[in-house]
């Protein structure tokens, strides 16, 4: 579903932000990406939906060549859900309106079809009684679940998460992670940048550790956490676990 082949990206001439990235994600796999701040995690996943151009190597997403025609990017982006640390909901639209906008305006669903889908998905993320609320009337955890629902309403083939719980108060983290665990178990293909290692242990097929633009180590959670091979991985894990 996602295939990085020797991908390199620089910001300007000095910053080699992605250094020979090779990463292969099968349909239905969940890959967790961790690493220190500034290691290139966000840039890596932003490449997957074409938000970041790159200078060399190859990136294939769902058979689509990201080095190819920019005109096809719009089409690809419809198939990829992206959830950020900041929820970026429309403040003057209700939860239901937030999740139905794109299905109506981008996918061309009728309002009735979009409403039905939106209600179903908001119910699935535990917000059946919050559909008519505005973002300002919702907690951070509820807003992030609306943001996830908004992506799901587009019926994406891949979901990307960039530190989705980092801006949340601790007591709200689990309600968001639970939704993500549910998605993973349903077979969604996901790349998740997070330092929530409990989540990684529970659902990741693979954990990837990045430092200074490179994938330093990757493995199944069991071996990654219990027996990290690289000194930098061990050092990082000792700081966050």
Residues at the interface with ligand ADP (CB under 6 A): 11, 15, 17, 35, 37-43
CB 34, CB 193: distance < 8 Å: yes
Shortest spacing between CB 45 and ligand ADP, in angstroms: 8
Q: Which is nearer to ligand ADP, 17 or 61 (CB)?
A: 17
Shortest spacing between CB 52 and ligand ADP, in angstroms: 8
Q: Which is nearer to ligand ADP, 16 or 157 (CB)?
A: 16
From Mg ion, ligand ADP, none, interface partner of 100 (C-beta below 5 to 8 A by class): none
Shortest spacing between CB 40 and Mg ion, in angstroms: 8
Q: Which helix (H) or strand (E) holds 23?
A: strand 15-25
Q: Which is nearer to ligand ADP, 78 or 214 (CB)?
A: 214
Angle 129-106-151 (CA atoms, 0-180°, nearest 5)?
A: 45
Q: Which is nearer to ligand ADP, 37 or 71 (CB)?
A: 37
Q: Which is nearer to ligand ADP, 44 or 204 (CB)?
A: 44
Shortest spacing between CB 42 and Mg ion, in angstroms: 3
Rounded Cα distance between 127 and 57, Å, is 42
| Token pair for 138 | 């919702």
Beta strands in the chain (DSSP E): 2-11, 15-25, 30-34, 56-61, 64-65, 80-83, 158-162, 189-193, 206-211, 214-219
Task: Name the 3-class secondary structure at 6.
Answer: strand
- What are the Cα distances from residue 11, in Å, to 25, 38, 115, 162, 220? 25, 12, 42, 20, 31
Mark 35-64 with x for binding to Mg ion (rule: CB under 5 A) and - for no binding. Answer: ------xx----------------------
Task: Name the 3-class secondary structure at 194.
Answer: coil
From ligand ADP, Mg ion, none, interface partner of 17 (C-beta below 5 to 8 A by class): ligand ADP
The site for Mg ion (CB under 5 A) is made up of: 41-42
């Amino acid at each position: 579903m996602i295939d990085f082949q020797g991908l390199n990206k620089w910001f300007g001439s000095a910053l080699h932000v992605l250094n020979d990235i090779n990463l292969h994600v099968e349909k239905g796999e969940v890959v967790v990406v961790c690493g220190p701040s500034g290691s290139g995690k966000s840039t890596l996943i932003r490449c997957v939906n074409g938000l970041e151009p790159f200078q060399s190597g190859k990136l294939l997403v769902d058979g689509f060549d990201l080095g190819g025609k920019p005109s096809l990017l719009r089409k690809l982006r419809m198939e990829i859900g992206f959830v950020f640390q900041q929820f970026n909901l429309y403040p003057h639209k209700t939860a239901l309106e937030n999740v139905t906008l794109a299905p109506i305006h981008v996918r061309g669903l009728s309002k009735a079809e979009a409403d039905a889908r939106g209600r179903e998905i908001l119910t699935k993320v535990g917000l059946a009684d919050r559909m008519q609320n505005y973002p300002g009337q919702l907690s951070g955890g509820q807003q992030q679940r609306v943001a996830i629902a908004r992506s799901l309403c587009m019926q994406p083939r891949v979901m990307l998460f960039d530190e989705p719980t980092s801006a949340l108060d601790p007591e709200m983290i689990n309600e968001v992670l639970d939704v993500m665990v549910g998605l993973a178990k349903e077979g969604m293909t996901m790349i998740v940048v997070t330092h929530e290692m409990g989540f990684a242990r529970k659902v990741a097929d693979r954990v990837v550790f990045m430092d200074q633009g490179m994938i330093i180590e990757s493995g199944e959670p069991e071996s990654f956490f219990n027996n990290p091979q690289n000194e930098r991985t061990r050092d990082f894990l000792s700081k966050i676990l």
